[in-house]
Structures are given as structure tokens and as C-alpha cells.
């Protein structure tokens, strides 16, 4: 179970890094636009800032939604494994046997 939580945590962290990089790019774009002068540039800055705020709000919501889903999946899996240990072990054994058979067959054909 800890492996599943670790994998999910790694994916969550990678997503957070990607989102942070995107936000840094948007902020750099805003700085570039801000350097321009004129009424058109001012209107464009306001539009970009509004889009940035909307993007930030959406990303915060997506992070929270993802965190809740991952947490729910981990909790459900953990609960199932604790309530049905023998079935879980049987499933893992079946998957391992199938994987072993596939690897063995693939090894013979090469």
C-alpha cells in the first residue's frame, strides 16, 4: 500500500511542478506585456491578469480535486486490502504468475 501512495505522491508532485512552471511562464509573459506602453497594452495587461487569476483559481481547484481523488483511491484500496487480505494476496499472486508466464514465453521466442 505504501508503494501505491508513494507512486501517487510522485505523480502529484510532478503535476504540481508542471503547474508551477506554467504559472512562472504566465507571470513572465505578464512582465513582458507590462513593459509595453500605451492604452492597448494597458487593456491587454488587464485581460492577461484576469486570465491569470482565472487560471490560478482553476489550477488550485484541480489540485484540490486531484488530491481528494488520489486520497480516496488510496483509502479505498487500503481498506479493501485490510478487509480482504487473502483475496488481495490471491490477486497479487495471479498477476505475478501471469506476468511470469508472459516473460517466460517471451524469453523462449527470442
Contacts of 80 (CB under 8 A, 6+ apart): 88
- In tens, the pLDDT along 69-100 reads 888 878 887 888 788 888 878 888 888 888 88
Kindly give the residue spans of alpha helices, DSSP state H, lying in the chain.
2-35, 39-83, 85-108
Report the alpha-carbon distance of residue 29 to residue 97 in Å, rounded.
53
pLDDT digits (tens, 9 = 90+) for 9-46: 777 777 777 777 777 777 777 776 666 655 556 666 67
**Domain ranges within the chain, ordered by starting residue:** 2-84
Q: What is the pLDDT of residue 75?
A: 84
More confident residue, 49 or 2: 49
Amino acid at each position: 500500500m505504501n508503494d501505491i501512495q508513494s507512486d501517487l505522491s510522485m505523480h502529484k508532485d510532478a503535476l504540481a511542478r508542471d503547474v508551477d512552471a506554467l504559472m512562472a511562464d504566465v507571470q513572465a509573459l505578464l512582465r513582458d506585456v507590462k513593459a509595453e506602453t500605451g492604452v492597448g497594452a494597458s487593456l491587454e495587461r488587464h485581460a492577461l491578469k484576469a486570465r491569470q487569476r482565472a487560471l490560478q483559481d482553476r489550477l488550485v481547484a484541480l489540485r484540490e480535486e486531484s488530491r481528494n481523488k488520489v486520497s480516496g483511491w488510496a483509502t479505498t484500496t487500503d481498506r479493501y486490502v485490510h478487509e480482504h487480505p487473502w483475496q488481495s494476496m490471491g490477486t497479487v499472486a495471479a498477476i505475478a504468475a501471469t506476468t511470469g508466464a508472459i516473460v517466460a514465453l517471451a524469453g523462449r521466442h527470442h
